[in-house]
Each structure stands twice: as structure tokens, then as C-alpha cells.
């Protein structure tokens, strides 16, 4: 029945699995949504959406699917209070029910009921119990609560929620969206993905496995039997290359956060950090100022940092096409006779895991971003947002390409 | 619903939160609670336990916690000692199996509430290691070849501070609730639960300052609900006149803990 809603959610970028959807249907079967749209909204959200970063997408999907249901006849909370008369249920015994259903034709026209309901919603200003015209309890009109009419509109009973659409419309979860820019903490968390415990790798067994040793010794009648295991240490080595060109100045505080985060993440086996100006040539600078002489040879880096270093290049890839393709490089420092493109190709050939993070990346290819587009063909490029960073980290850790 | 969770004398829950708890109970799924620090995630489990009159078992997760710790521990050292001194029953491994918190919850004769607190503190793989156990509500002890099965399916409440992303496979099985930061109305209710006779003017003024501080964009650590409650208590005990609160910011260290933030607050308030 709500299958369209399922696909709308998917279209909005929510990853809902079939098992979650079935759970939701089961919950509806159990009547957990009551008969309230708002309750339905929260029920759907708590089962289908597992992160507050996705609430906004869900709100949009919900709005799209159920906009039609949004009606002007919001029932006021005062009216709901008039109707919430659970103690009257006892009064409504068989005879009363019979009386209630007599007279009015049971063949109810839905549209007609809705029409009347809206009319009276507008006019009614007092409480009514047991009548045959207004919205109230114990009555025989087609709407109200605890009434006898079988085919009408049930109003209230158990609610008190904020209106679903008041929530949806406010889009109060917009700030949680994970395609926004990030802060230090989120950086650190992303870097925690870069973990690879060497217990699975090919290293000698150098640590004493106490539990196993004691266990084996017990089984051995108390004669000591030592068990060794491989050390569990992170084996990830990281090479960071920052662009500190002029166009990167607006992002300097972001770069600073990123740098701090790497420094704070002390779980790496080794971190090396160098700077470049717009594109990488034969020298890498030791400081963000990129001063002449204060550098190392890029080839020295290739020789000394072996190919299992994971490389993250951070830059906006905004440069003139000549800076990328010309044999004379750019005005900052020597280029060893190779163009930026060739240096980047060498880089990619040497390091198996390499990504480019771009704080400014726009979707699509624009002609004035020729260099960026070209580099994207060569190196996997991700936008510097929570989601982009995480995708990048996954790329660095998995065996794709 | 047979037994529904309500706000208690000590804990004010929003209606959505109550609904989430009750849905999780009805669908027999773990309830995952996220939210800013100090919004009462851990308190929730206590409140649910109190409201339903059930026993609460708390499993605090640390960065070194392994999934295995929650199931059972095999005390090999004790066994070694006993073996050395020729103690009785050393050949009976079952004597050296100690159930962890999850094991305890399974073995209990009544239905219990199991709080797995701050699950994101543990290693990334931790939640995945618990999938089978939480799904099937049973686990297998290799040493004794015995299966521990839950007598009554515990109500599982899991809290997370979002330090790490939790694995999708794990999330799929949970009911999710994000505790929003309480608005002023709810906040007043919460404070009143703790200090029923706090003076209205003092409460209003303290809350105004509190929400103003929270609204500063350049603040590093936003003050939380529990800190507001502590602050109001301090103001009450100190007998601070209401008009002094904004001017002098007495005991402001209770809500603002970082030096830089203190600087910012003093500048903006002045």
C-alpha cells in the first residue's frame, strides 16, 4: 500500500533495506501507528531511518508522498479533549449502539462525510456528547469518537503529537545533513577508519598470548606451554600532501582542522606531511609557506616512503591548464622537466592507494575547471565533506582498482 | 499495548521518545538512542526500568571492550591456580565460566532491561560481533559445549554518542531514536522534576542565559541539560539574586567549561 513511499525514500537517497521495510509493515499490522498521520510519521522514521543525518531526506520524501493528505481540517487539541472520553465506553452497550446506527443510512459516501466533517469543523465551538449533528462522543454522526457509526471518520482518541507536517515543514534536521562541511572531530572520526591491524598481516609472532598460554598449560597438567601471537598494531602509514596555493586561502582554517585531526589521531604507524603549490612537481615543501629551498625532492619521497603509504592529496585543483600540462611547470620552484600531469601520473604509479580531497568540488564538468576535470580522470577525487571523506577513507582501505 | 512506558517522577520523556520505546518493545528490537551528551540517554534506561518495574542490567562499553566480554569469560588463571593446589573440580570447566552482562540478561528468570551504554566507544567491529546474539538471543560456550538461551527476551536499549559510525548491518536491526535538545517548555518541565520549588524568575532568567549561550555559533562545547540543572542548583544554594545572573554570571564554570568559551561568553554577555 505504501510501496510508492518506499521508492520515494530510495529516490531521496535513503538506503532502506527490504528487511527494514518488512519490519515497518509488521509494525503497521500491529497497529502501532494508531490512526494518526503524525504517529505514522514517527513510526516510519524510527524504523526506516538510522541516523539523524538522514532525517532531512526522510522529511522531504514524506512531504512528497503524503502532501495530498495534508488537509486544512487540522483538528484542534481542544476538540480532541472533548472527544477523549474513554470512560464513556462502558455506557455504550449493545442497545445504545443499535439506537445509534438506526436512522442514518449506513451506505456512507466517503466524500460526503468528508465534506460535512470539514463544514462542521469550521462551525463547531463547543463540546458535544450524544448528539446527531456535531462532532462529539457517543453520537450517531459519521464522525467523532466512541460513536456508533461504523463507516465514519474517527477523530482523536490517542494523540497529542505535534502535527507531522509541522515537523516536516520545519526541516529542523537540515543541519544534520552529512553533505555539509566538517569540523575537527568529524575529521578524527573519519581517520579512525584508516586502521588495519597487522595481526592479519605477515609479521612474526612476538607477543605472549597469556590467556592461551595459561589454558594450554592447564591442559598440559601444569607444565608451562607458551603460546605466542602476532602483535595487534595499526600498520597504516599516511602521506599527506596539502595544496597551499592562493586559491586555498579561504579554506585555510579547514586545512588547519584537518592537519590537527591527523596529528591527534595517534594510531598511525607513520604520518608524513608535505605541501605544494597548486600542483605537484619535482619538489615538495616542508612548510605551508612553500619557500624556495625548504623542500625535499619528490623522487626522494618516492624512494623513502614505500608504496604501501596511503596518500591523501588535499587541494582545490584550481589551476590554469598550463600549470598541469606545460613542461615548465609553474612559477613556484623547479619541475625537473616533467609537467604536473606527468608528476601526478608517477605519483599514482608509485602509490597504490591515493585519493584527492577537494574542499570546493562542484558536481559535473565545467569548461573553466579543465584541470580539475582532468585530474578527476587520473585520481579518485572526493569532496571534503563528511560523506566525501568517509568514501575516500573507504577507498583507501579497500582493494578497489 | 500491554505495558507501556511513561514519563516517571524522575524522568521527563517526550511523546516521540515514549512511542519509540513502546514500538521497540512491541517489535522486540533493540532501541538505539543517539543525542547530544547530557540529554539523558543513559537515564532513559533507568526510567524505563522504573516505569515497567523491571530489573536493569547495565553493560558499560569501553574502548577495550570486546563482544566476548558481554557473553562469558573463561577464568583460566583461576583454573591454573586451582590445578596447582590440587583443588576439587578442576576438570569441570563450567566452574570457571563467568557470564558477562549479556549472558546475565539472558539467564535471568524474569524479563530484564539491558542497557548497552555508549556502544560507539568500542572497536568498529564490536556491534557486528553481537548481531547473532541480539537477533537470536542465544550464544554458545565453546569450552562447555553449552548454549545459553534467553529465558525471556530482554528489552535492549543501546546508547551512542556518534563517535563512530555504526555498521549498517547492525543499524538495520534497531529502532532508532534521536533525542532532540529539549525546547524551553520541556526544559522547564525537566528542571521542575529535579527542583520542584525553584523560583519562577530565577528559572526563567537562568534558562534565558543558558539558551543564549547555546545559540552562540563560536562556542566550542555547548552546555547540556544536566549542566543547566547543576547550575540552577548552584544558583539556588548560593542564594544569588535573579538580577545578578546575567550581569555577574555566577558559577558560570558549571555550564561553560573551556577557557576560550568562557572568554566568548563574557564578551558577548557584556
Same domain, B159 and B256: no
Task: Collapse the DSSP code of A369 into the 3-class scheme (helix H, G, I; strand E, B; otherwise coil) and give the result.
Answer: helix
- Inter-chain touch B16–A32, beta carbons under 8 Å: no
**Domain range enclosing B248:** 184-269
Which pLDDT band holds residue A91 (cuts at 50, 70, 90)? very low
pLDDT per position as a tens digit, A367-395: 677 888 888 888 899 888 877 888 888 88
Nearest to A160 among B15, B84, B171 (CB): B15
Q: B179, B199, B228: which is the final residue of a domain?
A: B179
**Residue B140 belongs to a domain:** yes
Helix B259-269 / helix B200-215 crossing angle, nearest 10 deg = 110
* pLDDT at residue A120 in the model: 61
Highest mean pLDDT: which of A130-139, A266-275, A285-294, B230-239?
A: B230-239
List the single best residue of B33, B83, B157 to mutate versus A (max A Cβ within 10 A): B83
**Residue B32 touches partner A, C-beta closer than 8 Å:** yes
Question: DSSP labels for A270-312?
Answer: EEEEEEEBSB--SEEESSTT--TTSEEEHHHHHHHS-TTEEEE
Cβ of B73 under 8 Å from any chain A Cβ? no
pLDDT at A365: 66
How far apart are the two ends of chain A, measured CA to CA in Å?
Answer: 42
* A46 → closest Cβ in B15, B20, B172: B20
Select the residue of A51, A172, A218 nearest B80 (Cβ to Cβ): A218
Structure confidence at residue A106 as a pLDDT band (50, 70, 90): very low
Residue to test with chain A: of B39, B80, B81, most A Cβ within 10 A = B80
Looking at the fold, whether B51 and B72 belong to one and the same domain comes out as yes
B171 in contact with A at a CB cutoff of 8 Å? yes
Total number of domains constituting chain B: 2
Q: Where do we find the cell 542548583?
A: B233
Q: What is the torsion angle, in degrees rounded to the nearest 10, for the CA atoms of residue A279, residue A283, residue A285 and residue A286?
A: 140
Nine cell digits for residue A249: 586561502
A140-176: pLDDT as tens digits: 444 444 444 444 444 444 433 445 555 555 566 655 5
Which chain A positions have a beta carbon within 8 Å of B20's beta carbon?
42, 46
Are B162 and B211 part of one and the same domain? no
With H, G, I as helix, E, B as strand and everything else as coil, classify residue A40.
Answer: helix
CB contact under 8 A, B168 and A15: yes
Residue range A213-227: mean pLDDT, rounded? 83
Helix axes A3-11, A55-66, angle to 10 degrees: 140
Checking if the pLDDT of A87 tops 60, the result is: no
Q: Which of B26, B84, B174 sits opposite A222 (nearest CB)?
A: B84
Tens of pLDDT along B168-206?
888 889 999 988 888 888 888 888 888 888 888 888 888
Q: Residues 141 to 200 of A: which have CB under 8 A from any B CB?
A: 160-161, 172, 189, 192-193, 195
CATH architecture of A237-397: 3-Layer(aba) Sandwich (3.40)
Nearest to B34 among A20, A52, A172 (CB): A52
Within a domain: B111: yes
Give the model confidence (pLDDT) of B27-66 as tens digits.
Answer: 999 999 988 877 888 888 998 998 899 999 999 998 788 8
Do A46 and B27 count as a contact with CB atoms less than 8 A apart?
no
Q: Which helix (H) or strand (E) holds A356?
A: strand A353-358
Identify the pLDDT of residue A159.
Answer: 37
Does A209 contact B at CB distance below 8 Å? no
DSSP category for residue B64: T
State the average pLDDT over residues A40-64. 87
* Nearest alpha carbon to residue A179 among A356, A383, A12, A358: A383
Q: B158, B179, B200: which is the final residue of a domain?
A: B179
Q: Sketch the domain layout of chain A as residue ranges.
A: 3-72+162-176, 77-154, 237-397
Distance CA A51, CA B164 (A): 12
Q: Are A390 and A382 in contact (CB under 8 A)?
A: no
Query: Do B124 and B50 have their domain in common?
Result: yes
Q: How far apart are CA A133 and CA B71, in angstroms?
A: 63
d(CA A371, CA B152): 63
Beta carbons of A149 and A141 less than 8 angstroms apart:
yes
Residue A21 has a pLDDT of 92
As a dihedral over the C-alpha atoms of residue B234, residue B240, residue B243, residue B244, rounded to 10 degrees, the angle is -80
The pTM score is 0.60
Contacts of B84 in chain A (CB under 8 A): 222
Which helix (H) or strand (E) covers residue A145, if one does?
A: strand A143-145
Q: What is the CATH number of the domain that holds B68?
A: 3.40.50.300
Phi, psi of B204 (to 5 degrees): -60, -45
User: Do the beta carbons of residue B187 and residue B232 sit within 8 Å?
Assistant: no
Please list, in sequence order, all residues whose beta carbon lies within 8 angstroms of the beta carbon of residue A343, skipping any fewer than 6 positions away.
Answer: A279, A280, A281, A282, A298, A335
Q: How far away is chain B from the Cα of A23, in angstroms, using its nearest Cα? A: 8
Clarify whether residues B210 and B251 are in a common domain. Answer: yes
Q: Do A214 and B80 touch (CB under 8 A)?
A: yes
- Mean local confidence (pLDDT), A263-274: 78
Q: Measured between alpha carbons, how far is A139 from A153 in angstroms, rounded to an integer?
A: 12
Do B153 and B88 lie in a common domain?
yes
Q: ipTM for the complex?
A: 0.79
Q: Check whether residue B101 and residue B217 sit in a common domain.
A: no
Amino acid at each position: 500500500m505504501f510501496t510508492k513511499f518506499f521508492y520515494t525514500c530510495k529516490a531521496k537517497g535513503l538506503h532502506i533495506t527490504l528487511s527494514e521495510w518488512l519490519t515497518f509493515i509488521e509494525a503497521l499490522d500491529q497497529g502501532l501507528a494508531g490512526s494518526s498521520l503524525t504517529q505514522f510519521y514517527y513510526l516510519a522514521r524510527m524504523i526506516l531511518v538510522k541516523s539523524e543525518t538522514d532525517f532531512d531526506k526522510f522529511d522531504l520524501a514524506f512531504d512528497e508522498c503524503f502532501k495530498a493528505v495534508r488537509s486544512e481540517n487540522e483538528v484542534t487539541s481542544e476538540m480532541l479533549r472533548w472527544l477523549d472520553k474513554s470512560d464513556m465506553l462502558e455506557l455504550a452497550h449493545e442497545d445504545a449502539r443499535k439506537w445509534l446506527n438506526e436512522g442514518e443510512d449506513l451506505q456512507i459516501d466517503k466524500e460526503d462525510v468528508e465534506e460535512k466533517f470539514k463544514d462542521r469543523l469550521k462551525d463547531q465551538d463547543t463540546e458535544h456528547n450524544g448528539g446527531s449533528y456535531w462532532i462529539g462522543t457517543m453520537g450517531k454522526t459519521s464522525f467523532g469518537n466512541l460513536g456508533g457509526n461504523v463507516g465514519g471518520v474517527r477523530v482523536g482518541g490517542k494523540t497529542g503529537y505535534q502535527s507531522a507536517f509541522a515537523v516536516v515543514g520545519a526541516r529542523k534536521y537540515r543541519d544534520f545533513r552529512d553533505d555539509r562541511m566538517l569540523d575537527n572531530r568529524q575529521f578524527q572520526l573519519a581517520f579512525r577508519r584508516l586502521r588495519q591491524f597487522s595481526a592479519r598481516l605477515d609479521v612474526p609472532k612476538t607477543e605472549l598470548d597469556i590467556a592461551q598460554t595459561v589454558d594450554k598449560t592447564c591442559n598440559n597438567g601444569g607444565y608451562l606451554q607458551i603460546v605466542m601471537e602476532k602483535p595487534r598494531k595499526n600498520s597504516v602509514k599516511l602521506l599527506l600532501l596539502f595544496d597551499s596555493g592562493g586559491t586555498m586561502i579561504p579554506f585555510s582554517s579547514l586545512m588547519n582542522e584537518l592537519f590537527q585531526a591527523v596529528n591527534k589521531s595517534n594510531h598511525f604507524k607513520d604520518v608524513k606531511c608535505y605541501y605544494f603549490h597548486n600542483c605537484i612537481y619535482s619538489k615538495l615543501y616542508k612548510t605551508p609557506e612553500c619557500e624556495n629551498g625548504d623542500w625535499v625532492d619528490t623522487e626522494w619521497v618516492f624512494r623513502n616512503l614505500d608504496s604501501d603509504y596511503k596518500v591523501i592529496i588535499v587541494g582545490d585543483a584550481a589551476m590554469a591548464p598550463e600549470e598541469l600540462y606545460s613542461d615548465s611547470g609553474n612559477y613556484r620552484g623547479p619541475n625537473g622537466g616533467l609537467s604536473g600531469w606527468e608528476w601526478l601520473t608517477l605519483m599514482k604509479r608509485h602509490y597504490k592507494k591515493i585519493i584527492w580531497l577537494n574542499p570546493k568540488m562542484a558536481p559535473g564538468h565545467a569548461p573553466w575547471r579543465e584541470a580539475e576535470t582532468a585530474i578527476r580522470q587520473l585520481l579518485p577525487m572526493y569532496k571534503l565533506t563528511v560523506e566525501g571523506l568517509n568514501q575516500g577513507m573507504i577507498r583507501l582501505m579497500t582493494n578497489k582498482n | 499495548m500491554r505495558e507501556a512506558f511513561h514519563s516517571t517522577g524522575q524522568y521527563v520523556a517526550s511523546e516521540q521518545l515514549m512511542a519509540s520505546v513502546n514500538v521497540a518493545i512491541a517489535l522486540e528490537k533493540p532501541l538505539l538512542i543517539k543525542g547530544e551528551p547530557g540529554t539523558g540517554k543513559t537515564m532513559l534506561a533507568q526510567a524505563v526500568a522504573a516505569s515497567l518495574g523491571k530489573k536493569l542490567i547495565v553493560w558499560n562499553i569501553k574502548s577495550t571492550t570486546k563482544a566476548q566480554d558481554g557473553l562469558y569469560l573463561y577464568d583460566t588463571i583461576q583454573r591454573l591456580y586451582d590445578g596447582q593446589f590440587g583443588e576439587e573440580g578442576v576438570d569441570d570447566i563450567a566452574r570457571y565460566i563467568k557470564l558477562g552482562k549479556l549472558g546475565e540478561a539472558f539467564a535471568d528468570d524474569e524479563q530484564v532491561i539491558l542497557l548497552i551504554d555508549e556502544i560507539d566507544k568500542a572497536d568498529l567491529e564490536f556491534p557486528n560481533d553481537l548481531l547473532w546474539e541480539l537477533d537470536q538471543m542465544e550464544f554458545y560456550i565453546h569450552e562447555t559445549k553449552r548454549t545459553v538461551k534467553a529465558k525471556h527476551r530482554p528489552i535492549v536499549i543501546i546508547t551512542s554518542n556518534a563517535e563512530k559510525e555504526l555498521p549498517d548491518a547492525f543499524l538495520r536491526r534497531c529502532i532508532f531514536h534521536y533525542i532532540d535538545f529539549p525546547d524551553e517548555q520541556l526544559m522547564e518541565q525537566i528542571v521542575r522534576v529535579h527542583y520542584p520549588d525553584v523560583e519562577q524568575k530565577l528559572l526563567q532568567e537562568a534558562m534565558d542565559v543558558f539558551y543564549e549561550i547555546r545559540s552562540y555559533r563560536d562556542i566550542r562545547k555547548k552546555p547540556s541539560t544536566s549542566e543547566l540543572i547543576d547550575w540552577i542548583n548552584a544558583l539556588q544554594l548560593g542564594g544569588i539574586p535573579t538580577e545578578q545572573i546575567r550581569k555577574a554570571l555566577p558559577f558560570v564554570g558549571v555550564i561553560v567549561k573551556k577557557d576560550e568559551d568562557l572568554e566568548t561568553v563574557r564578551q558577548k554577555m557584556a
